[in-house]
Amino acid sequence: MEKSLSNLKQKIISYLCTYGNTKETDLINYGVQRLGISEANMVKLIDEMASSGRIERILHKELEPAVTYVKQGSLVTFGLKLQAISDSLELGEITNQQIEEIKEILDKAKAIAKKRMKRKINAID
């Protein structure tokens, strides 16, 4: 299963490399139609890839209603980025526990940001 999940992630990255920034809804449709993933599982996969930094979400606020686009993220892993920051601050080796704690903090911040975005979108309507 892990190998097929990795393969799906590679296909999503390949899609974004080919077509560039894409509406999130279009990427979800691609997963459903071409990769055979349910819509709910595709959303979970996009969420996971966004939280790991493999892809990034961009909210296009100029459109009504606002539209979320997805673009390819960094090729550098989250843990490697954290280690580079730690090295630059001369803080030493980052542990897996610290990485998990930071991810938990970022996940909470992401949930709060989503709620705020929904409120702003609803206020526009």
User: Do residue 64 and residue 113 come from a single domain?
Assistant: no
For the chain, how many structural domains are there in total? 2
What is d(CA 25, CA 30) in angstroms, rounded to the nearest whole number?
9
Q: Between vectors from CA 48 to CA 121 and to CA 60, what angle results, nearest 5°?
A: 30
Query: Which of 73, 93, 117 is a domain's end point?
Result: 73
User: Do residue 55 and residue 106 come from a single domain?
Assistant: no
pLDDT tier at 1 (50, 70, 90 boundaries)? very low
CATH of the domain at 29: 1.10.10.10
User: Do residue 64 and residue 103 come from a single domain?
Assistant: no
User: Do residue 15 and residue 2 come from a single domain?
Assistant: yes
pLDDT tier at 125 (50, 70, 90 boundaries)? low
What tens digit of pLDDT does each residue of 45-71 get?
999 888 878 888 988 888 778 888 998
Q: What is the pLDDT of residue 22?
A: 92
What tens digit of pLDDT does each residue of 6-50 get?
889 989 989 998 888 999 999 999 999 999 999 999 999 999 888
Assign 68 to helix, strand or coil.
Answer: strand
